[in-house]
Amino acid sequence: MRYLTLSFLAVFLFSCGSYPKKQQLKPIESALNVFSNPYFSNTSKDYIYKANISAYGKSFSGLFIVKKIEKNQHRVAFTTEMGNKIFDFTITDNAFSVNYILDDLNRKLLLNVLKQDFTTLVKENVDISGVFVKDNASFFETQILDKPHYYVTKNNSLSQIVSVKNGKAKTVFSFSKINDNIANKITITHHNITLKINLKSIN
């Protein structure tokens, strides 16, 4: 009985461990207080992607467009290739406005997820609360919409943003084929719900 109690206690402590501990990240001292995401920071550019969104058994294909309107404000839209609107959001540091969303996607739970996803995707500057390293990667700890996130850089480029819950990766934003501060391929993968977003730049 004592052995079982100790075993359950060990499992409980491990399951409640922080993300840095579970990933064996090493904390380091850093003078960096703010991390900047460069991928959607140019107001003179329209960021256009060929997109596929799979959600709750439905699949939507079309064009995903991000436009930085002004400082701390982005417009995010998803349309069919024929130009029919699927959703259209305005995102600032303090607000998320639904300009339009297709009835099939107009669910409170999904809207909350899309709010978290796209706020994370386009948010330009975040306050850093801790810095960690592992192998050739650096991890910058922050909060977005009051939820823990880690910005992961490799070779001085942002390669991932990891949203964390209970010490585990909940949502992973992967950036690849980086060129001139543009992530030409972006994948948003959820580990707790059936939602995946694939974006490929066509600029």
Q: Which two tokens stand for residue 170?
A: 């909940």
Mean pLDDT of 141-163: 96
Domain holding 24, by residue range, is 18-201
Q: How confident is the model at residue 17 (pLDDT cuts 50, 70, 90)?
A: low
Residue at 64 is within a domain? yes
Residue at 2 is within a domain? no
SS3 109: helix
CA distance 192 to 102: 23
pLDDT at 37 over 90: yes
Q: Which two tokens stand for residue 81?
A: 């290739």
- Provide, rounded to the nearest whole percent, the portion of the chain with pLDDT above 90: 75
Q: Which two tokens stand for residue 200?
A: 């490929």
Q: How confident is the model at residue 104 (pLDDT cuts 50, 70, 90)?
A: confident
Residue at 69 is within a domain? yes
CA distance 127 to 35: 6
Residue type, 66: V
CA distance 61 to 79: 8
Residue at 182 is within a domain? yes
Mean pLDDT of the chain: 89
- pLDDT tens-digit map of 53-81: 987 788 889 999 999 999 999 999 999 98
Mean pLDDT of 150-165: 96
Residue at 7 is within a domain? no
Give the residue with greater pLDDT, 179 vs 11: 179
Domain count, the chain: 1
Q: Which two tokens stand for residue 27?
A: 């904390």
Phi, then psi, of 105 in degrees rounded to 5: -105, -5
Residue at 186 is within a domain? yes
CA atoms within 13 A on the CB side of 124: 18
| Model-wide pTM > 0.75 | yes
Give the residue with greater pLDDT, 163 vs 7: 163
Q: Residue 73 sits in a domain of what CATH number?
A: 2.50.20
pLDDT at 39 over 60: yes
Total residues found in the chain within this entry:
203
- pLDDT tens-digit map of 4-16: 343 343 333 333 4
Q: State the CB neighbour count (10 A cutoff) for residue 28.
A: 11
Residue at 171 is within a domain? yes
SS3 176: strand
The number of angstroms, rounded, from the C-alpha of 64 to the middle of its chain's C-alpha atoms is 15
CA distance 80 to 60: 8
